[in-house]
Structure 1
C-alpha cells in the first residue's frame, strides 16, 4: 500500500460529561475530514487523545472509525503503548476490524535501547499482516529513533513500509531519503514544516489541520505536486499562523476549541488536559476569521 497526500487526524469527541466517546460526533468529524479531501484517516493519534482512553474506549473509536470510512480511503490506526504485549493486542484488534495499516510509536518510561525498539516493532509485525508506519515523535513518546535505526527496521522488518517523522528537523527527512536510497516513503508530522517537507519529497502530510482548515492542506499538497511553488508558498504562509498555534497550544485542546468556534461542539479534552481558555479561544477566533 502506497499512501500519498493528506493523512488526517480526527479528534475523539466526548459526551458532555466527558464519561465516554461520542461516536455519533466522531462519525460527523470523520465525514468533515473526508469532505476536505483527506486521502487517509488516522484515528487514535495524539490529536485523538489515544493515551487517555481505556482499552474498551480505544476499541470503540477504532471500530467505529473503520465502519464510518467504509473503505472510501485507507484507515491507519494509531498504537502507542509502553509494553509490547499491549501494542500487539491493539495491532491484532486493528487487523480484525479491517484497518488498512497501523501507525506505531513506542512510549518509554525507561529509556529504550535501539535493540529494544527494534524488538518492539519486530514482535508486533510477527503477529499481524498489516503494513506498519513507524511514528517518530520524541516530544510525546520520550523515544527518539535515529534515521539509521528507522531505515534498518525498514530493511529488516518487511511489514514496515513507511515512516512519519515529527521531530520538526528537515535534515531527518533528508537522511532517511539518503540512507534508504529513496525507497522508504516518509511523511511529514510537523505542521510548520509542511512546505519544506513536501518540497523535500515527503509522500504526504500527517495532520489534524483539515479539522479547521478544510480543503486548504490538500490544496497545498496538490500545488507542490504540480510544481506550482509560488502558489504553494502563498498557501502555506496563509495557513502557518494557525498551524503554529494549534501545535503550540496542544492539538486536542486547540482543535476541539476551534471546532466549537465553528459551531461543531465535540466536548472537552479529557483531564488532566484542559479546555482552551478565553485568550486562546480569542486567538483561535481571530485566526479562523482570516479564512
Structure 2
C-alpha cells in the first residue's frame, strides 16, 4: 500500500466523568481531521491515549474509527502492547474490522533484545496480513531500534513495509533513506522536526496537529513536495512554537485543552494525565489565535 502525506491522530474523547469513551465526539474529531484534508487517520496512538483504554474500549475506538471514516482515507490502527499475545489479538482485530494498516510499537517494561523485538514483529505479521508500520518511539515505549535493525525487519518480515521514526534525530532519517536507497518509506513522528524530515525524504508526517490547526500541516507537506522552499519555511515557522508546545505539554492534554478553547469539548485526558494548567491554557489560546487566520 502506498501511503504518504499527513497521517492524522485523533484524540479519544471521554465522558465528563472520564469513565467512558464518547463515540459521538470521536466522530466529530475525525470529521475535523477529514476537513483538514489529511491523507490517513491513525487511531489509538499516543494522542489517542491508547495505553489508558481497556481492551473493550480499544476495540470500540478501532471499530468506530473504521466505520466512521468509511473508506474516505486509509485507517491506521496503533498497536502498542506489553505482550506479543495481546499485540496479535489487536492486529487480528484490526484486520477483521477492515483497517488498512497497523502501526506497531514494541512497548516494554523489560529491556528487549533485538531478537525479542524481531520475534514480536514477526509474530504479529504472521497473525495478520495487514501492512505494518514499524514505530520507533523510545521515549514512550522504552525500546530504541536502530535504522539498520528496522530495515532488517522490513527486509525479513513479510508485512513490515515502512517506518515511523520519532526519536528527534534527523540523522536516523538520513540513514534510513541512504541505507535503503530511498526504497523504504519513512514517516516523521516528531512534530517540531517536520520541515527537516520532509526535506530529508520522509513520505509523510504523523501528527495530531490538524485537530487544532486544520490544513496547516497539509499545506506544509504540499509546499515541500512542490519544491516551494520559501513557502515551506514560512509555513513551518508559523507552526513551530505550537508544534513544540503540544509535544512538551503532552499530546493528549494539550490537544484536548486546545479543542475545548476552540469550543469543542472532548473531555479531559484520563488520569494520571492532567489537563493543562491555567498558564499553559493561556499560552495555547494565544498560539491558536495567531494561527487562526
User: Do the two structures share a fold, i.e. TM-score over 0.5?
Assistant: yes
Match of 1:127 in 2: 127
Q: Does 1:261 align with 2:256?
A: no
Once the two structures are superposed, the pairs formed by residues 53-72 of structure 1 within 5 Å of their partners are 53-72=53-72
Shift of the alpha carbon at 1:177? 1.1
Shift of the alpha carbon at 1:158? 1.7
Match of 2:137 in 1: 137
Count of aligned positions? 291
Q: Identify unmatched segments of 5+ residues in structure 1.
A: none
Once the two structures are superposed, the pairs formed by residues 1-291 of structure 1 within 5 Å of their partners are 1-291=1-291
Shift of the alpha carbon at 1:179? 1.5
Shift of the alpha carbon at 1:178? 1.4
Shift of the alpha carbon at 1:171? 0.3
Q: How far, CA to CA, are the matches of 2:56 and 2:124 in structure 1?
A: 20
Q: How far, CA to CA, are the matches of 2:150 and 2:2 in structure 1?
A: 18
Q: Segments of 4+ in structure 1 off by > 4 A? A: none
Any idea what SS the aligned residue of 2:80 has?
strand
Deviations 1:69-100 (A, max 9, x none): 00000000000001000000000000000000
The TM-score, its normalising length taken from structure 1, stands at: 0.99
Q: How far, CA to CA, are the matches of 2:168 and 2:36 in structure 1?
A: 25
The TM-score, its normalising length taken from structure 2, stands at: 0.99
Q: How far, CA to CA, are the matches of 1:179 and 1:6 in structure 2?
A: 24
Shift of the alpha carbon at 1:152? 0.2
Shift of the alpha carbon at 1:108? 1.2
Any idea what SS the aligned residue of 1:106 has?
coil
Shift of the alpha carbon at 1:184? 0.8
Q: Identify unmatched segments of 5+ residues in structure 2.
A: none
Shift of the alpha carbon at 1:289? 0.7
Any idea what SS the aligned residue of 2:161 has?
strand
Shift of the alpha carbon at 1:110? 0.8
Deviations 1:168-189 (A, max 9, x none): 1000001111121211100000
Q: How far, CA to CA, are the matches of 1:233 and 1:178 in structure 2?
A: 24
Any idea what SS the aligned residue of 2:105 has?
strand
RMSD of aligned Cα (Å): 0.5
Shift of the alpha carbon at 1:273? 0.4
Q: How far, CA to CA, are the matches of 1:70 and 1:100 in structure 2?
A: 11
Q: How far, CA to CA, are the matches of 1:140 and 1:211 in structure 2?
A: 21
Q: How far, CA to CA, are the matches of 1:158 and 1:196 in structure 2?
A: 30
